[in-house]
Amino acid sequence: MLPRLISVLVAPDSSATEIAEIIMVDSALAGSTLRLANSAFFAGSGKAETVADAVIRLGQRELYRLAALALVSRWEAGTAGRGEPGDFCRYALCTALAAEVLAETSERLDPQTAYTAGLVCDLGKLAIAHGCAPFFPAIRAHCATRGGTWSQAERDVLGYTHAEVGAQLLRAWSFSPALVAAAEFGERPAEGPAEALPLLAHLHAAKFIATSFGPGVAEDGFLFELNTPFLLEWGFSPELLQESMAVVHERAKARLQGNLTHGAVAM
């Protein structure tokens, strides 16, 4: 549903009715959309009776944020070995917000594209947690005894990495090539295709901010090799990253409120 919704939301001639038709396929998402539109923050002129009314009231940006986070949060359900419920979604949201803030600052990338990349770039970690949880002790032991990154341990133990798994899933689900590249090269951005480098630079910096910031970071998050020369080449200095972190913190608090550090994230 998410790639379908993205394509309609970015189309300049799409109508509220077209957007609502996609949202109404998912009853929980439709309910969340109406609930947000009728919340105290948005309800300024009576009650939104239909999803189409809610779409008009919320606007593209807010609707997109709601739908993307609501759908991504479901991928976490039933996952073993990923810390407490909500951790993956918390970290994904912080990464998305960091990428968005950096894109707004640099003006070299569409903030909505950056936000989406942050949400979905680590999907492969959940897929591995669903399918390969019994191998987690071996991956941990590999990191403890041999050092290196979590991805290196995945390759040695499983024969593939979460980045490769995530890229295959996003490709199969018809996400854009840019978002597939975000999943595949987010942790090694210099190796990505030339057309994806702007996105990869913002995403790589965003992953550093989200990891430094803290909410939802799992054990694998700290076993991540930062390409500092690449970030400096794209203008992401330590000072800029530090300044951005404060903005990300405020946006994450506003979005997650009481679930910033613990508890399942449900939209």
Could you give the angle at which helices 16-23 and 27-37 cross, rounded to 10 degrees?
A: 130
Cβ(48)–Cβ(34) below 8 Å: yes
* pLDDT tens track for 78-94: 555 555 656 788 888 88
- Cβ proximity of 245 and 172 under 8 Å: no
Asked if residue 178 and residue 106 are part of one domain, the reply reads: yes
Domain boundary residue, one of 35, 54, 74: 74
Closest CA to 60 of 39, 33, 38: 33
Residues 69, 86 within the same domain: no
Residue 47 sits at the vertex; the CA angle it makes with 46 and 51, to the nearest 5 degrees, is 135
Residues 182 and 149 in one domain: yes
Whether 67 and 85 share a structural domain: no
* Residue spans of the chain under pLDDT 70: 43-45, 76-86, 216, 257-267
Cβ contact 100:38 at 8 Å: no
- Kind plus residue range of the DSSP H or E element containing 40: none
DSSP letter, residue 86: T
User: Which of 28, 46, 74 is the endpoint of a domain?
Assistant: 74
Closest to 228 (Cα-Cα) out of 251, 201, 257:
201
Last residue of a domain, one of 45, 74, 103: 74
For the chain, the C-alpha Rg in angstroms (whole number) is 18
Residues 63 and 88 reside in one and the same domain:
no
- The CATH number given to whatever domain includes residue 251 is 1.10.3210.10
Residues 46 and 166 in one domain: no
Same domain, 217 and 257: yes
Give the residue numbers spanning the domain of 146.
Answer: 81-267
Instruction: Express each pLDDT in 240-261 by its tens digit.
Output: 999 999 998 888 887 776 666 6
- Alpha-helical runs (H) found in the chain: 2-10, 16-23, 27-37, 51-74, 87-106, 111-120, 123-132, 136-146, 150-158, 162-172, 177-185, 197-213, 228-233, 238-256
Domain count, the chain: 2
